Amino acid sequence: MSVVVYLAAAVLALSATVLFRRPRAAVRNPLTVSTCVAILLGAVVFACSAPMTLSAVNSLTGVPNFGAPLTYGMLTAYSCSLLILLINWRGGPPGRVRRLVLRSIAVYGPLVVAVVVLFALADAHTERLTDLDTYYANTPYMREMIVLYLLGHTAVIVATSVVCVRWGREVTGLLRTGLRLILVGALLDLAGFQLTKYTAIVARWSGHDLDFLSTTVAPPMASLAALICSAGFVLPRLLPAAGAHWRGLRDHRRLVPLWSRVGFVSTAPKPPASWWQLPEERLHWREVAIHDALLALAPYFDDTVRERARAAALREGRGAHEARVAAEAAMLAEAARRAAAQEEPQETPSTYRLHATEVSGAGGLVELAQALGRTPVSDKAREGTVKAFHG
């Protein structure tokens, strides 16, 4: 069981690390901070609840079952962090958000203290690594401690479920998907973890033995529920950024035919090389460098070449826009050839503006790059480009 619990803890910790990848920006965002704190506390709870960890903690402290108040205190703090995360996620006036956060801390802070005090008062000298809840279900103070941490966690999960249902009716898209995942995780926690715990404890109170519900069923259900909840909190924040990075990487690669033709005349300063540079940042620099190269090649633009290529494209049955881009690619290819051969610019500079320079974003440049990729490159242009890149 320890392996499964440690795996869940590792996945949760990795999720928090991804969210907190830019510490300076993250610490200024209460939502990011509360999300990372909640996920990290969840990871700590799982790590602490593993039998191997419990045994190590008990041995280090010399107190039998010391891992119990540690785990339950962390679980109570995790419950509080979930509540604070929901408050920050839902948002609202800053004053109201601050008051709700302080109220949550005011309720769950004493609850953590109560868990520790009740354990200190209890007689729990027999170490139990997997069945402590049921073994001590009838022991004074331990009984109250167990019920108290369960009730505190139940209150948060019920509140989370209610918020998800109500808020889910008001939103759409990824946020609604995230809320549904959180709701699924919360219901799984209620049914798979808490209900089984309550059932096993009540069975002990009535003289029956249903310990397997607490020792075998509850732990994996808690791990799965926490992972699903964390996915609900994280995915709506990560997927848009991941999509933007993917589009940046895709467009950066699609600009290769254009950059390989015109890059040798660009004078844009290169950014410091770094393996962690985001695709969007690399794409932005390539756009700037290409625009700089297009400006440098403008004196070589030949309107005659462009008009001839445009007429040929129209005769082939291409649409007006496609013919325009193909003609611009032909004109640019000729301009790059002449620049690479160090020929003189046009006597009368063209005033024509490329479509790619009239639209924002990388879309126009990508169109030009794809058209240029279908335009043959002369040996002179290839030789000049290679020399420029390696000179």
User: What three-state secondary structure class fits 342?
Assistant: coil
CB 74 within 8 A of CB 61: no
pTM: 0.70
Are residue 19 and residue 48 in the same domain, yes or no? Answer: yes
Residue 293 lies in a domain: yes
Are residue 220 and residue 345 in the same domain, yes or no? Answer: no
How many Å apart are CA 66 and CA 220, to the nearest integer? 22
How many Å apart are CA 383 and CA 146, to the nearest integer? 77
Predicted local distance difference test score (pLDDT) of residue 32: 78
Are residue 28 and residue 132 in the same domain, yes or no? Answer: yes
| Residues ≥6 apart with Cβ < 8 Å to 294 | 262, 332, 354, 356, 357
Are residue 233 and residue 290 in the same domain, yes or no? Answer: no
User: The tokens of 363 are what?
Assistant: 């879309």
| Residues ≥6 apart with Cβ < 8 Å to 151 | none
Predicted local distance difference test score (pLDDT) of residue 2: 53
User: The tokens of 308 are what?
Assistant: 């001839």
CATH number where 160 lies = 1.20.1070
Residue 248 lies in a domain: no
Are residue 224 and residue 367 in the same domain, yes or no? Answer: no
How many Å apart are CA 344 and CA 329, to the nearest integer? 20
How many Å apart are CA 377 and CA 381, to the nearest integer? 6
Predicted local distance difference test score (pLDDT) of residue 234: 78
Angle (nearest 5°) at CA 34 between 31 and 39: 120
Other beta carbons less than 10 A from residue 280's beta carbon: 17
Distance set, CA 295 to CA 227, 291, 336, 350 (Å): 52, 6, 12, 12
Q: With a cut of 70, which residues of the chain have pLDDT below it?
A: 1-9, 11-28, 271-277, 376-391
Predicted local distance difference test score (pLDDT) of residue 31: 79
Are residue 363 and residue 259 in the same domain, yes or no? Answer: yes
Predicted local distance difference test score (pLDDT) of residue 33: 82
Are residue 83 and residue 139 in the same domain, yes or no? Answer: yes
Are residue 201 and residue 283 in the same domain, yes or no? Answer: no
Predicted local distance difference test score (pLDDT) of residue 390: 39
Buried b (16+ CB within 10 A) or exposed e, 309-347: bbeebbeeebeeeebbbbbbbbbbbbbbbbbbeeeebbe
Residue 237 lies in a domain: yes
What is the extent of the structural domain holding 361? 255-390
Rounded to 10°, the helix 320-340/379-390 angle is 60
Residue 176 lies in a domain: yes
How many residues does the structure list for the chain? 391
Predicted local distance difference test score (pLDDT) of residue 269: 75
Burial class (CB in 10 A: 0-12, 13-18, 19+), 203: middle
Residue 249 lies in a domain: no
| Residues ≥6 apart with Cβ < 8 Å to 117 | none
User: The tokens of 192 are what?
Assistant: 């798979």
Are residue 297 and residue 231 in the same domain, yes or no? Answer: no
Predicted local distance difference test score (pLDDT) of residue 174: 85
Are residue 282 and residue 372 in the same domain, yes or no? Answer: yes
Residue 225 lies in a domain: yes
Residue where a domain stops, chosen among 221, 242, 263: 242
Q: What does the DSSP assignment read for 143-161?
A: HHHHHHHHHHHHHHHHHHH
CB 349 within 8 A of CB 360: no
How many Å apart are CA 157 and CA 151, to the nearest integer? 10
User: What three-state secondary structure class fits 318?
Assistant: coil
How many Å apart are CA 52 and CA 44, to the nearest integer? 14
Give Cα 309 distance to the centre of its chain.
46
How many Å apart are CA 52 and CA 40, to the nearest integer? 19
Are residue 184 and residue 328 in the same domain, yes or no? Answer: no
Burial class (CB in 10 A: 0-12, 13-18, 19+), 290: buried
Residue 287 lies in a domain: yes
Are residue 262 and residue 351 in the same domain, yes or no? Answer: yes
How many Å apart are CA 202 and CA 344, to the nearest integer? 93
Residue 247 lies in a domain: no
Angle (nearest 5°) at CA 252 between 173 and 289: 125
Predicted local distance difference test score (pLDDT) of residue 22: 57
Residue where a domain stops, chosen among 196, 214, 242: 242
Predicted local distance difference test score (pLDDT) of residue 383: 46
Q: Where are the alpha helices (DSSP H) in 91-141?
A: 94-121, 132-135
Structural domain count of the chain: 2
User: The tokens of 203 are what?
Assistant: 């069975």
